[in-house]
Structure 1
Amino acid sequence: MARLVLCEPTELYNILNQVTKLSRLTESNYLCLLDVRSKREYDESHVITAHRVKKKANEYLIPESVDLECVKYCVVYDSNTSSLEGILKHDDDDDDDDDNSYNRGEELMLGAAIKCGRALAHLTRHPIYILKGGYECFSAMYHFFRTQKIIWMPQELDEFQPYPVEIVPGKVYLGNFRQACDPKIQKDLKIKAHVNVSMETGPFFVGDADKLLHIQIEDSLQANIFPFLRHLCHFIEIHLKLGSVILVFSTLGISRSCAAILAYLMHWNEQTLKRSWDYVKKCKNNMRPNRALVAQLSEWETVVLGDFITDVSDPLY
């Protein structure tokens, strides 16, 4: 039986914004988003691509088109469940996974999302994610992902334009050049400063050194980002202190901008390249700094921590 895991709103936001060549939402076995609120609430608005789960005679009915066994992410949400305490207490006290063994009083303490998650857990080997704070919290943070649309055609998902992923919640985002040129994204995310790690010049903050750091390096093995890393970290720190929201980007948002984010996280948290790498990889599945940039990040690790700690000869990097 799958276990239940609490999913932060930022985590769902990043799941929705993963890409390969197209948005990963086009992949049928990538994400199943389940809404267990009332029909009225669902019809008023819900998270994009979410299916409404109907309930009949205490049984949760998911759409026939959904095969949870094959789905990587199954995320369930209600209005405002914010804790798994009830379910965790039950799991600790009872190891036989008998859904009928806990008392009725405890069941009433569980949110609708948790009840649904428990009922579906036998259908998958993957964790079932319960959205922390439910729809109320997520929609307040990411209003631009609310919709009344129920059916999504494959072509519509192909055309879906992902947002930059969120690295430091509500403060630092990582994206590509197209996203950095989109005025709607700048408005929705309240972007106030750019770190541009590419040769291209974007349309925002040009000529404003206080709001734009432009690190002009090629996307090649000859790219040398190391001399800029101290200034990069200082620029981001200053803007965070000012309360600004920052977008770090490069042409594709895969190599140079990821290296910049990794360097900042290593500096900010005084942590290894490996730990920073694991964190960013979770936020952005397709991140891949080139080998030259990885070598420079290894050198940066000695500046931050005083020694080479991460073995960058590992195929992981």
Structure 2
Amino acid sequence: MAGKVLCEETKLYNVQNQYTFLPRLAERHYFCLTGKHFYLISIITAINAKWDSDGKFIMPLDVEVESMRYIIVYDSSTYSLSDSGPAIDCADSIEESSQFPVQILSGGDEKFSALYPFLRTPVSLYNIRELESLNSYPVEILPGKLYMGDYRQATNLQILKDLKLNVLVSVSDECSNCTVLHIRKSDLITSFERMCVFIGSHLNNSSSVLIFSTLGVSRCCAVTIAYFMYHLKYTLKEAWNHIQQCKANMRPNRGFVQQQQ
């Protein structure tokens, strides 16, 4: 039995927005979000939980619990594993077969939807093609403050609006029209301190900041690691682990990282 754990809303957001060439949501063995829907609009990709006449949760036939990396359940507002309600009942039924701990969304639909209203939808079922076409958002490094993504996301005006992003730091080969600070690849190593001061000053003024590079896996990660070490006094290992939890496929250039040791 894998057990149950609480899942903070930021973690669900980041899990939903992992991608390689395609969104991870399109991978059949990666992610399952299921919940008791109280409204016509629910969290995107969520499966509506159903129970039989004996009150036992019925797992959808196309969900292979044993192989799912993330199974996250939610109801309206569960905050503790000691609570009672649909999310706990659902998790109790699933954890017997799950290889990984079943995660219960802390605060439920009410809290998540208040923070991420753009991730709500009336669509109750997606096919593979629809999942592959979903827009991935930049991952959230510091909740509501610091994000990390790629050039495509940085130039998507709807994404910028949804996340209320008003400061963009580019370490991409391209420079978007709305970029506030653009550092070329050749100048990256000599510009770490300048970028960290720039990012810190805007975060201190309650602005939300997106750090982006072309693919969103190398240079932006190196800059974010530098910020955590320079401003937040993280060790390299602590910064690396934090960012990797937010973006699983981070691949900062080894030369950039060595400059920060």
Band of TM-score, shorter chain:
over 0.9
In the aligned structure 2, how far is the partner of 1:124 from the partner of 1:199? 43
Counterpart of 1:72 (choices 53, 69, 81) is 69
In the aligned structure 1, how far is the partner of 2:88 from the partner of 2:230? 38
Q: Does 1:275 align with 2:238?
A: yes
Query: Match for residue 193 of structure 1?
Result: 167
- Secondary structure of 1:116's aligned partner: helix
State how 1:82-101 maps to structure 2 within 5 Å: 82-84=79-81, 86=82
Give the residue type in structure 2 aligned to 1:46.
S
Deviation at 1:128, TM superposition (A): 0.4
- Secondary structure of 1:129's aligned partner: strand
State how 1:233-248 maps to structure 2 within 5 Å: 233-248=196-211
Runs ≥4 residues deviating over 2 A? 223-226
Query: Match for residue 216 of structure 2?
Result: 253
Normalised TM-score (structure 2):
0.96
Residue deviations 1:47-104, cap 9 Å, x none? 11111111121201111111111000000000011112x2xxxxxxxxxxxxxxxxxx
Deviation at 1:18, TM superposition (A): 0.3
Note the residue ranges of structure 2 that are not aligned, 5 or more in a row.
Answer: none
CA contact (8 A) 2:42 2:121 kept: yes
State how 1:42-81 maps to structure 2 within 5 Å: 42=39, 44-56=40-52, 57-81=54-78
Deviation at 1:294, TM superposition (A): 2.0
- Secondary structure of 1:122's aligned partner: coil
In the aligned structure 1, how far is the partner of 2:232 from the partner of 2:203? 14
Q: Does 1:166 align with 2:134?
A: no
- Secondary structure of 2:72's aligned partner: strand
- Secondary structure of 1:234's aligned partner: helix
In the aligned structure 2, how far is the partner of 1:256 from the partner of 1:183? 22
Deviation at 1:19, TM superposition (A): 0.5
In the aligned structure 2, how far is the partner of 1:230 from the partner of 1:224? 12
In the aligned structure 2, how far is the partner of 1:17 from the partner of 1:199? 23
Give the residue type in structure 1 aligned to 2:9.
P
Counterpart of 1:293 (choices 251, 256, 261) is 256
Counterpart of 2:156 (choices 154, 161, 182) is 182
Query: Match for residue 133 of structure 1?
Result: 107
Deviation at 1:224, TM superposition (A): 5.0
Give the residue type in structure 2 aligned to 1:36.
K
In the aligned structure 2, how far is the partner of 1:31 from the partner of 1:6? 16
CA contact (8 A) 1:36 1:116 kept: no
Q: Does 1:121 align with 2:118?
A: no
- Secondary structure of 1:195's aligned partner: strand
Residues matched between the structures, number: 260
Give the residue type in structure 1 aligned to 2:246.
C
- Secondary structure of 2:227's aligned partner: helix
Query: Match for residue 264 of structure 1?
Result: 227
Select between 255-264 and 147-156 the one with higher mean Cα deviation: 147-156
In the aligned structure 2, how far is the partner of 1:60 from the partner of 1:36? 11
CA contact (8 A) 1:224 1:293 kept: no
Structure with the higher helix share, 1 or 2? 1
Give the residue type in structure 2 aligned to 1:131.
L
Q: Which has the larger radius of gyration?
A: 1
Normalised TM-score (structure 1):
0.80
Query: Match for residue 13 of structure 2?
Result: 13
- Secondary structure of 1:34's aligned partner: strand
Note the residue ranges of structure 1 that are not aligned, 5 or more in a row.
Answer: 87-108, 206-211, 218-222, 299-317
Deviation at 1:36, TM superposition (A): 2.2
- Secondary structure of 1:249's aligned partner: strand
User: Identity rate of aligned residues, in percent?
Assistant: 43
Query: Match for residue 303 of structure 1?
Result: none
Query: Match for residue 3 of structure 2?
Result: 3
CA contact (8 A) 1:181 1:202 kept: yes
CA RMSD of aligned residues (A): 1.2
In the aligned structure 1, how far is the partner of 2:134 from the partner of 2:173? 26
- Secondary structure of 2:62's aligned partner: coil
Deviation at 1:268, TM superposition (A): 2.5
- Secondary structure of 2:259's aligned partner: helix
Query: Match for residue 30 of structure 1?
Result: 30
Residue deviations 1:200-238, cap 9 Å, x none? 110214xxxxxx121111xxxxx4523211111111111
CA contact (8 A) 2:57 2:89 kept: no
CA contact (8 A) 2:68 2:99 kept: no
Residue deviations 1:3-31, cap 9 Å, x none? 11110100000000000111101100000
Deviation at 1:112, TM superposition (A): 1.9
